[in-house]
Amino acid sequence: MRIVVIGAGALGGLVGAHMTEAGQDLTLIEINESRARLLTENGLLISEGSAGERCVRMKVAAKITGLPTADLIFVAVKSYQTEDAVRSALPVIGDGTYVLSMQNGIGNTETMARILGPQRVLCGITYHSIQHVGPNRLRYRAGIKPIQIAPHDGRITPAIEAIGEVFRQAGLDTNVVEKIDDVIWQKLLHNAVVNPVSALTGLTCREMLDDEDLQRFMRALCMEIVAVMRARGVPIMDEEDPYRPVIGSQKALGKNRPSMWQDLSRSNCTEVDAINGAIVEEAARLGLAAPLNFGLVRFIHSRERQKILRKRAIAETLASAAQAAPVAKARSLPKMHLRPTQLAPDGGMPSGRVPLRMAPRLKELLRNYYLDLQAASDGADRMVACCSGTGPVEIVRALGLTPYFPENHTALIGASRQSGRYIPRAMAEGFSQFASSAMACDIGAMLIGDSPLVSLYGIAGPPRPDVVVYNTNYGHSLIRWFEYYGRQYRVPVFGLHPSAALDAVDLIDTGAAAQQMFRLVSQLQGVTRRSLDVDRLAEVVGLSAQAARLWREILNLAESVPSPLTFFDALIHLAPMVLMRGTPEAVEYYEILKAELEERVAGNIAAVPGERYRFYWEGPPIWCALRPLSELFMSHSAAIVASTYADIFALDGFDPKNPIESMARTYTSIFPNRSDDYKQSYLVSRLRRYGVDGVIHHEGRTTPEHSNARYGLDVSLRRATGLRSIVVEADTHDLRLFSMDRIMSRLGEFIEMQEPAQETAAGSADGPDGPWKGNENE
Amino acid sequence: MSELARPVAGLDVGTEFVKAIVLAGDGAILGRASVPTRGYFQERAREALDAALDDAQTAEDELGGLCATGFGASLVHGATRTASEAACHARGAFHHIPGVMTVVNIGGQEPRVIRVDGSGQPTEIASLRHCAVGIGTFLMFAARHLDVHPTQLQELAAGAEQPAHVGSYCSVFAGVELLERLREGASREEVALGCIHSVAERVAEIIRFEAPIRVTGGVAEFFPGVLKRLSGLTGQTVEAIPEPMLAGALGAALKARDLASRAGSTPGAVVGTQAATAKPKEQG
């Protein structure tokens, strides 16, 4: 028999599954295309009671078009969908087709008969209890009574008997009878009493049974319906106490809730019109009053409206919000918009950082440096030395070599957010993502043959070195980086390895360092085929001394409150100290920069307008996130006034009268080369000098040597100074190794914590700008 | 209604649940709701707020302020302010039990230990290093591996005498570790207990704990075994505040109230899209 089941809900699914298993040619119509796909691909899983589950694969279609004429159409949709379902089925309804409804409530077969004529309509009733336990899973219990099918016009034909046989063969106990009007009303009684009450109260059947008030109401409701049934001539199941069987069905349902509750909870329409609504209509037809049923229908409709309208309203709000301007992220709303800012007399930007006049000059300086570097790289008579940032560049310069600094190159890569392109290339070469990401960026760029220098300065790229020189004073992880250069370019690599982790730097240590420097001199003399001019060296060292002293004085200006410069400014302006240490240009630059900053101090001009908080940054910079960090601090009126990183380059101790020995002492004494005890007392004294509110420790994932917090320095520093601190777990270059969102929110939280505890009534918050909206500190 | 008497709302838009509290002008909780987030930050925030307003029998335009906190705070339309999670949890805990204390917030994502001073302000915030974040969510995954609903994980664990040890810092590795325990023959009960213990162990590693210790966040509500283990590890009493999962939303609501009362009778403090139709205020 060709069967089409319209509606792939619990009932349609169950009947469809049984018929398909029995070998009938059955198609299940599910208009939701995703669900139709799911059922087609995964089948329907059904289980009876606690028995094993079986998977039934059926033919599932989303549309009826194209199907051949059916012998039987089984309508298993919700009552309010009956009309549409039947109309949609018209193409497959032929002269001999029967249409069977086994739906809840009353009126479905009348609707179908209106459209198709009475002869083809069959009415059915089932006592199965079926539950959805997943999008394609059903659990069911067979009814206590068999399924009953009756023709709408009361005339049983052989074809109808055959349909009953098909059901029985499919394992569904079924009787074909002349009329089922009575049993329909008897089932309706249960539905009409239990469904709406559970739907409105949200209670399970068990809970309703325990509620005296509800039971009294439901009993009265039952009797109202029974009166209608009696007037119709329907036999009452339990004449003595018509409500007793309804108690029974509540017990049977137990902790479940009926379908009307489920429909409402999913913000869908209910079948109340076909249940209680039909009772009200029938009562009116019979001249009876059904006020309780009438009331329930109104309540349910109201609830439907609330839920469905709410669902629609939410969807609309979200749809229109998505089209509107993006939601202002309240947290990042810059505070400066709300507070009066200090305007520089020469017109610094009112709502942003106050830029230093030196900035364009610096650009010019660096541009010249890189052009010269390019010339040195191209020139046959010039040589380039790859040099570490705190390496013995004075010797390099004195021998006429032009220094190039991979650490500076990688800082540029990080700051220009190119890390993501280069690190994977280095990883493909064999470097772990947990090895220095700074190194990986630089090496990756080298291997790809690309560099930010190209677009920034218009040069061909980093130069090809003739020799590589490093000093492990900044850390031992440098060694592998610089040795890679040596292998890559097949050039000699010369390293200085001063004694490390020193508490005091005594003569033995400086002696050893000096010896290494002498060795380096002779090695470089070999490479350059020149001998070192000691006067030239003294000159260079003298220039380094001047630049270093000026840089130190510049950093000291940050002790002013408010500070004329921040950590982010320092990162930009220390470039000459690294790239041009030992040249007159660097000295000249810092003289002018210092003058400008002194002018700021005199005019009380702050780098961070309205400076409220002062912090110290311990650890390397997070190069790959400088801009968002700088904006975060600016938006909180917080100034990072000092840092270890900038301090390192205030190299103290160069003496032109004793160039090698003073270099040995100076370079060996830098912060990263010292013991934890030294680091701690150094930091304690710096923190006091700068008058900071708190300390930010950057624990770089790939910079273990500079992640002092790993060894508890933050804790001991806090104990020694009483200052609050935060450990930010991030990295210098690799954004994948940490959560930017997380560190931004933690830093924001840390800064907010500095706000004084008691906000006295009125006063501070209601400043000249009045009460304001946004990120309030408490 | 004077500004001080207007109710306010706090929303904690978390990664697992959105929590909402409606607070009366005098600080009493009028309504509360929590809704699973499942990635639908805006929709669920809306639902939670509606449900709490419903519970409180309050209309949205009656609110004198709305403060949002949590992972999705920036997505809350109509918030009059946002606040950090640590500050809100500290405030929420303080509201229940005033006094200097250590608040341990264990929610879906990052567990935090917050030292709170005598006025309810955070003075120190420490959280987990790196990989062991996502702690509450880890327990959800553990429940899935153990084929129980997350609300039944604690019950399952109660059936074990000993925990099957799960120790990885990384929540992802820990997920595999628990399967290894099962493969080795540990019972599901023992593994469940091990997972619950591991959460406490990660929290205990954050910092040295100072009494009194009070716990906020959803984990305390659904997995009380974590607190018990934490108590054992720290050697101190560890107790949850009442309604620990709502602490953040409560703190946020309190902050909304602070802002509203400071703002005085400014119409601009009215929340939401009904701002344009604000009723004229009485000057108190």
Chain A partners within 8 Å of B264 (Cβ)? 771
User: Coil, helix or strand for A480?
Assistant: helix
Percent of chain A with pLDDT over 70: 92
Name the residue among A440, A385, A432, A376 with its Cα closest to residue A413.
A440
Among B47, B79, B262, select the one facing A766 at the smallest CB separation.
Answer: B262
- Tell me whether the CATH fold assigned to B3-87+246-277 matches the one assigned to B99-240: yes
What are the tens digits of pLDDT across the range A160-204?
999 999 999 999 999 999 989 998 999 999 999 999 999 999 998
Closest residue on chain B to A718 (Cα): B124
Closest residue on chain A to B83 (Cα): A775
Residue A749 near chain B (CB below 8 Å):
yes
Q: To the nearest whole angstrom, how far is the Cα of A765 from the nearest Cα of chain B? A: 8
Alpha-carbon distances, residue A593 vs A90, A569, A642 (angstroms): 88, 11, 17
**Partners of residue A99 on adjacent β-strands:** A73, A121
Residue A317 near chain B (CB below 8 Å):
yes
B31 CB-contact burial (10 Å; exposed 0-12 / middle 13-18 / buried 19+): buried
Transcribe A44-107 into DSSP letters: EEEEETTSPEEEE--EEES--TTPPPEEEEEE-S-GGGHHHHHHHHGGGEEEEEEEEE--SSSS
Instruction: Name the helix (H) or strand (E) containing B197.
Output: helix B188-204
Higher pLDDT, A83 or A355: A83
Which of B:178-237 have CB within 8 Å of A? none
What are the tens digits of pLDDT across the range A350-381?
233 566 777 788 888 999 999 999 999 988 89
Name the residue among A366, A431, A470 with its Cα closest to residue A445.
A431
Provide the token pair at A511.
């002696």
Q: Is the CB of A773 less than 8 angstroms away from the CB of B119? A: no
Handedness of CA A667, A671, A676, A679 (dihedral sign): positive
Provide the token pair at A454.
């190209």
What are the tens digits of pLDDT across the range A498-529?
999 999 999 999 999 999 999 999 999 999 99
Residue A343: what pLDDT?
Answer: 31
* Rounded-to-integer distance, Cα A161 and Cα A424, Å: 74
The whole-model pTM stands at 0.63
What value does the mean pLDDT take over residues B184-198? 93
Residue B110 near chain A (CB below 8 Å):
yes
User: Any idea which of A63-67, A445-449, B232-236, B254-258 has the lowest mean pLDDT?
Assistant: A63-67
Instruction: Name the helix (H) or strand (E) containing A404.
Output: strand A402-404
Name the residue among A125, A221, A250 with its Cα closest to residue A229.
A221
CB neighbour burial string for B101-124, b if at least 16 within 10 angstroms, e if fewer: bbbbbbbbbbbbbbbbeeebbbeb
Provide the token pair at A242.
């018509």
Instruction: Name the helix (H) or strand (E) containing A134.
Output: strand A129-134
Cα B69 off chain centre by: 10
- Name A267's Cβ contacts closer than 8 Å, sequence gap at least 6: A307, A308, A310, A311
Amino acid identity for residue A270 in this structure: T
Q: To the nearest whole angstrom, how far is the Cα of B5 from the nearest Cα of chain A? A: 17
Task: Please count the residue pairs, one from chain A and one from chain B, whose beta carbons lie less than 8 angstroms apart.
Answer: 82
Cα B65 off chain centre by: 20
Residue B61 near chain A (CB below 8 Å):
no
- Name B259's Cβ contacts closer than 8 Å, sequence gap at least 6: A776, B65, B67, B80, B81, B269
State the residue for tokens 């508490």. Answer: A503
Secondary-structure breakdown of chain A: helix, strand, coil percentages, each rounded to the nearest 5:
55, 15, 35
What value does the mean pLDDT take over residues B243-263? 91
Residue A103: what pLDDT?
Answer: 85
Q: Does domain B99-240 have CATH number 3.30.420.40?
A: yes
Contact by Cβ (8 Å): A225, A189: yes
Chain B partners within 8 Å of A710 (Cβ)? none
Name the residue among A111, A112, A84, A110 with its Cα closest to residue A98.
A112
- In this structure, the number of other CB atoms found within 10 A of the CB of residue A143 comes to 16
- In this structure, the number of other CB atoms found within 10 A of the CB of residue A175 comes to 14
Q: What is the DSSP letter of B279?
A: P
What are the tens digits of pLDDT across the range A644-700?
999 999 999 999 999 999 999 999 999 999 999 999 999 999 999 999 999 999 999
* Rounded-to-integer distance, Cα A332 and Cα A329, Å: 6
- In this structure, the number of other CB atoms found within 10 A of the CB of residue A702 comes to 23
In this prediction, residue B130 has a pLDDT band, given cuts at 50, 70 and 90, of low
Is a pLDDT exceeding 90 seen at residue A497? Answer: yes
Among B46, B79, B259, select the one facing A330 at the smallest CB separation.
Answer: B79
- Name A668's Cβ contacts closer than 8 Å, sequence gap at least 6: A473, A498, A499, A502, A505, A509, A510, A513
Every domain of chain B and the residues it spans: 3-87+246-277, 99-240
Is a pLDDT exceeding 70 seen at residue B4? Answer: no
Q: Is the CB of A318 less than 8 angstroms away from the CB of B43? A: yes
Is a pLDDT exceeding 80 seen at residue A776? Answer: no
Q: To the nearest whole angstrom, how far is the Cα of B162 from the nearest Cα of chain A? A: 33
CATH topology of domain B3-87+246-277: Nucleotidyltransferase; domain 5 (3.30.420)
In this prediction, residue A32 has a pLDDT band, given cuts at 50, 70 and 90, of confident
Q: To the nearest whole angstrom, how far is the Cα of A560 from the nearest Cα of chain B? A: 26
What is the phi/psi pair of residue A128, to 5°?
-65, 150
* Rounded-to-integer distance, Cα A713 and Cα A731, Å: 18
Is a pLDDT exceeding 80 seen at residue A775? Answer: no
Q: Is the CB of B255 less than 8 angstroms away from the CB of A771? A: no
